Amino acid sequence: MNVLEVKQLEKIYFGKVNYTALDAVTFDIEHGDFVGIMGPSGSGKTTLLNCISTIDTPTGGSLEVEGTNPHGLSDQGLAKFRRNKLGMVFQDFNLVDTLTIKENILLPMTLDEVPIKEMSNRLKNVTQFLGITQLLDKRTFEVSGGQAQRAAIARAIIHEPSLLLADEPTGNLDTKSVKDVMSLFTSLNNNLQTTILMVTHDPYVASFCNRIIFIKDGKFHNQIHRGNHQGDFYQRIIDTLAFLGGGRDDIQ
Ligand code: ADP
Ligand code: MG
Protein backbone atom coordinates (compact mmCIF):
# COMPACT_ATOMS: atom_id res chain seq x y z
CA MET A 1 0.00 0.00 0.00
CA ASN A 2 1.27 3.47 -0.82
CA VAL A 3 1.93 5.81 2.08
CA LEU A 4 0.31 8.64 0.15
CA GLU A 5 -2.08 8.66 -2.78
CA VAL A 6 -3.17 11.99 -4.18
CA LYS A 7 -5.83 11.80 -6.91
CA GLN A 8 -7.09 14.69 -9.01
CA LEU A 9 -6.68 16.97 -5.99
CA GLU A 10 -8.29 20.37 -6.41
CA LYS A 11 -8.31 23.45 -4.22
CA ILE A 12 -10.27 26.51 -5.18
CA TYR A 13 -10.12 29.54 -2.92
CA PHE A 14 -13.53 31.14 -3.24
CA GLY A 15 -13.74 34.92 -3.09
CA LYS A 16 -14.73 37.88 -5.22
CA VAL A 17 -12.60 36.18 -7.83
CA ASN A 18 -12.25 32.41 -7.41
CA TYR A 19 -8.69 31.15 -7.52
CA THR A 20 -7.70 27.61 -8.46
CA ALA A 21 -4.60 26.91 -6.37
CA LEU A 22 -4.51 23.15 -7.11
CA ASP A 23 -5.79 21.71 -10.34
CA ALA A 24 -6.18 17.92 -10.67
CA VAL A 25 -2.88 17.04 -8.98
CA THR A 26 -2.19 13.28 -9.00
CA PHE A 27 0.80 11.39 -7.58
CA ASP A 28 1.74 8.54 -5.22
CA ILE A 29 4.47 8.08 -2.63
CA GLU A 30 5.72 4.63 -1.65
CA HIS A 31 6.99 3.68 1.78
CA GLY A 32 10.57 4.89 2.29
CA ASP A 33 10.59 7.44 -0.51
CA PHE A 34 11.99 10.96 -0.08
CA VAL A 35 10.13 13.32 -2.39
CA GLY A 36 10.59 17.04 -2.99
CA ILE A 37 7.97 19.47 -4.28
CA MET A 38 9.26 22.44 -6.25
CA GLY A 39 7.72 25.16 -8.37
CA PRO A 40 7.61 28.93 -8.76
CA SER A 41 6.31 31.14 -5.97
CA GLY A 42 2.50 30.90 -5.79
CA SER A 43 2.36 27.61 -7.70
CA GLY A 44 0.46 25.85 -4.89
CA LYS A 45 3.21 24.02 -2.96
CA THR A 46 2.10 25.09 0.51
CA THR A 47 -1.57 24.59 -0.40
CA LEU A 48 -0.76 21.03 -1.47
CA LEU A 49 1.11 20.27 1.75
CA ASN A 50 -1.62 21.90 3.85
CA CYS A 51 -4.30 19.78 2.15
CA ILE A 52 -2.30 16.62 2.90
CA SER A 53 -1.67 17.66 6.51
CA THR A 54 -5.37 18.61 6.85
CA ILE A 55 -4.52 22.20 7.81
CA ASP A 56 -6.53 23.08 4.69
CA THR A 57 -9.47 21.29 3.00
CA PRO A 58 -9.45 20.34 -0.69
CA THR A 59 -12.47 21.27 -2.81
CA GLY A 60 -12.17 18.25 -5.10
CA GLY A 61 -10.38 14.98 -5.75
CA SER A 62 -9.16 12.74 -2.96
CA LEU A 63 -6.14 11.80 -0.93
CA GLU A 64 -5.27 8.85 1.27
CA VAL A 65 -2.56 8.32 3.84
CA GLU A 66 -2.02 4.58 4.31
CA GLY A 67 -5.47 3.93 2.94
CA THR A 68 -7.30 6.50 5.09
CA ASN A 69 -8.84 9.66 3.71
CA PRO A 70 -8.23 12.09 6.58
CA HIS A 71 -10.79 14.55 5.22
CA GLY A 72 -13.48 11.92 5.77
CA LEU A 73 -12.75 11.55 9.50
CA SER A 74 -14.66 13.00 12.45
CA ASP A 75 -12.96 15.83 14.38
CA GLN A 76 -11.79 13.41 17.04
CA GLY A 77 -10.61 10.86 14.47
CA LEU A 78 -8.80 13.60 12.60
CA ALA A 79 -6.96 14.86 15.68
CA LYS A 80 -5.77 11.33 16.37
CA PHE A 81 -4.86 10.74 12.74
CA ARG A 82 -2.70 13.89 12.67
CA ARG A 83 -0.90 12.94 15.85
CA ASN A 84 -0.36 9.28 14.87
CA LYS A 85 0.22 9.28 11.14
CA LEU A 86 1.78 12.65 10.36
CA GLY A 87 4.86 14.56 11.40
CA MET A 88 5.15 18.19 10.38
CA VAL A 89 8.14 20.51 10.13
CA PHE A 90 7.77 24.16 9.16
CA GLN A 91 10.08 26.97 8.07
CA ASP A 92 9.64 28.91 11.33
CA PHE A 93 9.94 25.81 13.60
CA ASN A 94 6.54 26.36 15.33
CA LEU A 95 7.87 25.56 18.80
CA VAL A 96 5.95 26.76 21.84
CA ASP A 97 8.05 29.55 23.44
CA THR A 98 6.75 29.03 26.97
CA LEU A 99 7.84 25.37 27.02
CA THR A 100 11.31 23.81 27.24
CA ILE A 101 12.73 21.88 24.28
CA LYS A 102 11.88 18.63 26.08
CA GLU A 103 8.29 19.70 26.75
CA ASN A 104 7.92 20.73 23.11
CA ILE A 105 9.13 17.37 21.86
CA LEU A 106 6.87 15.42 24.22
CA LEU A 107 3.78 17.57 23.66
CA PRO A 108 2.05 15.38 21.02
CA MET A 109 2.63 12.23 23.10
CA THR A 110 1.40 13.93 26.28
CA LEU A 111 -1.86 14.62 24.43
CA ASP A 112 -2.07 10.93 23.50
CA GLU A 113 -1.40 9.81 27.08
CA VAL A 114 1.55 7.62 26.12
CA PRO A 115 3.00 5.94 29.27
CA ILE A 116 5.84 7.96 30.89
CA LYS A 117 8.40 5.18 30.54
CA GLU A 118 7.78 4.77 26.84
CA MET A 119 7.94 8.55 26.37
CA SER A 120 11.30 8.79 28.08
CA ASN A 121 12.69 5.88 26.05
CA ARG A 122 11.61 7.42 22.80
CA LEU A 123 12.85 10.84 23.89
CA LYS A 124 16.26 9.38 24.61
CA ASN A 125 16.49 7.60 21.26
CA VAL A 126 15.31 10.52 19.17
CA THR A 127 17.37 13.18 20.89
CA GLN A 128 20.51 11.04 20.69
CA PHE A 129 19.87 10.45 17.02
CA LEU A 130 19.46 14.20 16.46
CA GLY A 131 22.32 15.20 18.75
CA ILE A 132 20.24 17.48 21.01
CA THR A 133 20.35 15.69 24.39
CA GLN A 134 22.16 18.64 25.98
CA LEU A 135 19.40 21.09 24.97
CA LEU A 136 16.41 19.44 26.60
CA ASP A 137 16.00 21.86 29.53
CA LYS A 138 16.60 24.99 27.50
CA ARG A 139 13.86 27.25 26.24
CA THR A 140 13.33 27.96 22.56
CA PHE A 141 14.95 31.43 22.73
CA GLU A 142 18.13 29.95 24.25
CA VAL A 143 18.94 27.77 21.24
CA SER A 144 20.11 28.53 17.68
CA GLY A 145 17.92 28.23 14.60
CA GLY A 146 19.56 24.95 13.62
CA GLN A 147 19.02 23.56 17.12
CA ALA A 148 15.39 24.76 17.18
CA GLN A 149 14.77 23.01 13.87
CA ARG A 150 16.30 19.77 15.22
CA ALA A 151 13.94 20.01 18.20
CA ALA A 152 11.03 20.54 15.78
CA ILE A 153 12.18 17.48 13.82
CA ALA A 154 12.38 15.48 17.05
CA ARG A 155 8.80 16.49 17.86
CA ALA A 156 7.73 15.53 14.34
CA ILE A 157 9.26 12.04 14.36
CA ILE A 158 9.05 10.91 17.99
CA HIS A 159 5.79 9.03 17.35
CA GLU A 160 7.26 7.39 14.21
CA PRO A 161 4.77 8.92 11.76
CA SER A 162 3.86 7.24 8.47
CA LEU A 163 4.65 10.45 6.63
CA LEU A 164 6.91 13.37 7.51
CA LEU A 165 5.77 16.61 5.85
CA ALA A 166 8.14 19.57 5.70
CA ASP A 167 7.43 23.01 4.22
CA GLU A 168 10.68 24.89 3.52
CA PRO A 169 12.35 23.32 6.60
CA THR A 170 15.66 25.04 5.81
CA GLY A 171 14.19 28.43 4.86
CA ASN A 172 15.33 30.15 8.08
CA LEU A 173 18.68 28.42 8.56
CA ASP A 174 22.32 29.36 7.95
CA THR A 175 24.36 27.35 5.45
CA LYS A 176 25.89 25.03 8.05
CA SER A 177 22.51 24.22 9.63
CA VAL A 178 20.98 23.64 6.18
CA LYS A 179 23.61 20.93 5.59
CA ASP A 180 23.02 19.43 9.05
CA VAL A 181 19.25 19.31 8.64
CA MET A 182 19.55 17.74 5.19
CA SER A 183 21.99 15.12 6.51
CA LEU A 184 19.43 14.37 9.20
CA PHE A 185 16.60 13.98 6.72
CA THR A 186 18.78 11.68 4.62
CA SER A 187 19.70 9.65 7.67
CA LEU A 188 16.04 9.44 8.80
CA ASN A 189 15.14 8.25 5.32
CA ASN A 190 18.02 5.78 4.94
CA ASN A 191 18.22 4.39 8.46
CA LEU A 192 14.66 4.57 9.76
CA GLN A 193 12.92 4.34 6.35
CA THR A 194 10.94 7.47 7.20
CA THR A 195 8.83 8.53 4.22
CA ILE A 196 9.34 12.25 3.58
CA LEU A 197 7.53 14.85 1.49
CA MET A 198 9.33 18.19 1.52
CA VAL A 199 8.64 21.53 -0.16
CA THR A 200 11.72 23.59 -0.97
CA HIS A 201 12.75 26.34 -3.37
CA ASP A 202 16.46 25.55 -2.87
CA PRO A 203 17.99 23.27 -5.55
CA TYR A 204 20.79 22.20 -3.19
CA VAL A 205 18.29 21.11 -0.53
CA ALA A 206 16.15 19.41 -3.20
CA SER A 207 19.15 17.46 -4.46
CA PHE A 208 19.00 15.31 -1.29
CA CYS A 209 15.61 13.90 -2.37
CA ASN A 210 15.13 10.69 -4.39
CA ARG A 211 12.58 12.36 -6.61
CA ILE A 212 11.31 15.88 -7.31
CA ILE A 213 7.77 16.69 -8.39
CA PHE A 214 7.47 20.07 -10.11
CA ILE A 215 4.21 21.95 -10.02
CA LYS A 216 3.28 25.09 -11.92
CA ASP A 217 0.04 27.11 -11.71
CA GLY A 218 -1.38 24.45 -9.40
CA LYS A 219 -0.82 21.63 -11.88
CA PHE A 220 1.54 18.66 -11.81
CA HIS A 221 4.22 19.59 -14.34
CA ASN A 222 6.78 16.76 -14.35
CA GLN A 223 9.01 14.73 -12.05
CA ILE A 224 12.66 13.74 -12.08
CA HIS A 225 14.59 11.05 -10.19
CA ARG A 226 18.00 11.40 -8.60
CA GLY A 227 19.73 8.23 -9.70
CA ASN A 228 23.25 7.81 -8.35
CA HIS A 229 24.73 11.26 -8.86
CA GLN A 230 23.64 14.08 -6.57
CA GLY A 231 25.67 16.64 -8.54
CA ASP A 232 24.05 15.69 -11.83
CA PHE A 233 20.64 15.73 -10.14
CA TYR A 234 21.32 19.24 -8.84
CA GLN A 235 22.01 20.41 -12.39
CA ARG A 236 18.83 18.79 -13.71
CA ILE A 237 16.86 20.52 -10.94
CA ILE A 238 18.33 23.90 -11.94
CA ASP A 239 17.56 23.21 -15.60
CA THR A 240 13.96 22.24 -14.85
CA LEU A 241 13.44 25.35 -12.70
CA ALA A 242 14.83 27.50 -15.53
CA PHE A 243 12.49 25.76 -17.95
CA LEU A 244 9.52 26.34 -15.63
CA GLY A 245 10.22 30.06 -15.87
CA GLY A 246 9.86 32.91 -13.46
CA GLY A 247 13.62 33.28 -13.01
CA ARG A 248 15.51 32.33 -9.86
CA ASP A 249 14.38 35.36 -7.84
CA ASP A 250 10.80 34.39 -8.43
CA ILE A 251 11.24 30.82 -7.26
CA GLN A 252 10.38 30.66 -3.57
P1 ADP B 1 3.51 28.41 -2.87
O2 ADP B 1 3.65 27.75 -1.56
O3 ADP B 1 3.83 27.54 -4.04
O4 ADP B 1 4.26 29.71 -2.95
P5 ADP B 1 0.73 28.74 -2.09
O6 ADP B 1 0.22 27.37 -2.01
O7 ADP B 1 1.05 29.44 -0.82
O8 ADP B 1 1.97 28.80 -3.09
O9 ADP B 1 -0.34 29.62 -2.87
C10 ADP B 1 -0.86 29.25 -4.13
C11 ADP B 1 -1.83 30.31 -4.61
O12 ADP B 1 -3.00 30.29 -3.82
C13 ADP B 1 -1.25 31.72 -4.53
O14 ADP B 1 -1.66 32.44 -5.68
C15 ADP B 1 -1.89 32.28 -3.29
O16 ADP B 1 -2.04 33.67 -3.39
C17 ADP B 1 -3.23 31.58 -3.25
N18 ADP B 1 -3.69 31.40 -1.87
C19 ADP B 1 -3.03 30.74 -0.88
N20 ADP B 1 -3.75 30.75 0.26
C21 ADP B 1 -4.89 31.43 -0.02
C22 ADP B 1 -6.07 31.79 0.73
N23 ADP B 1 -6.20 31.42 2.02
N24 ADP B 1 -7.03 32.50 0.10
C25 ADP B 1 -6.91 32.86 -1.19
N26 ADP B 1 -5.85 32.55 -1.97
C27 ADP B 1 -4.86 31.85 -1.40
MG1 MG C 1 4.82 28.14 0.18
Pick the ligand that lies closest to the CA of residue 91: 2
Residue identifier of the C-alpha nearest atom 19 of ligand 1:
47
For CA atoms 110, 89, 182, 178, give the dihedral sign: negative
* Ligand 1 pocket mutation pick from 38, 46, 53 by most atoms within 8 angstroms of CB: 46
> Domain locations in the chain?
2-251
Note the pLDDT tens digit of each residue in 151-182: 999 999 998 899 999 999 999 999 999 999 99
Note the pLDDT tens digit of each residue in 109-158: 887 788 899 999 999 999 999 999 999 999 999 999 999 999 999 999 99
For 2-251, the fitting CATH number among 3.40.640.10, 3.30.70.1400, 3.40.50.300, 1.10.8.10 is 3.40.50.300
Distances (CA, A) of 128 to 136, 163, 198, 240, 247: 11, 21, 23, 38, 41
In this structure, the residues whose C-beta lies within 6 A of any atom of ligand 1 are 13, 19, 21, 39, 41-47, 252
Count the helices and strands in the chain (H runs, E runs). 8, 9
Distances (CA, A) of 114 to 84, 121, 192: 12, 11, 21
- Rounded mean pLDDT of 225-245? 94
The whole-angstrom separation of Cα 146 and Cα 99 is 18
H helices of 192-244, where?
A: 203-206, 230-244
Between the CA of 57 and the centroid of ligand 1 the distance, in Å, is 13
H helices of 26-162, where?
A: 45-52, 75-85, 101-111, 116-130, 145-157
Q: pLDDT class for 252, splitting at 50, 70, 90? A: very low
Between the CA of 67 and the centroid of ligand 2 the distance, in Å, is 26
pLDDT of residue 165: 98
- Rounded mean pLDDT of 82-89? 92
Between the CA of 243 and the centroid of ligand 2 the distance, in Å, is 20
The whole-angstrom separation of Cα 11 and Cα 59 is 5
- Rounded mean pLDDT of 41-63? 97
Q: pLDDT class for 247, splitting at 50, 70, 90? A: very low
The whole-angstrom separation of Cα 204 and Cα 209 is 10
Note the pLDDT tens digit of each residue in 177-219: 999 999 999 999 999 999 999 999 999 999 999 999 999 999 9
> What does the radius of gyration of the chain's CA atoms come to, in whole angstroms?
18
Between the CA of 209 and the centroid of ligand 2 the distance, in Å, is 18
Is a pLDDT exceeding 60 seen at residue 249?
Answer: no
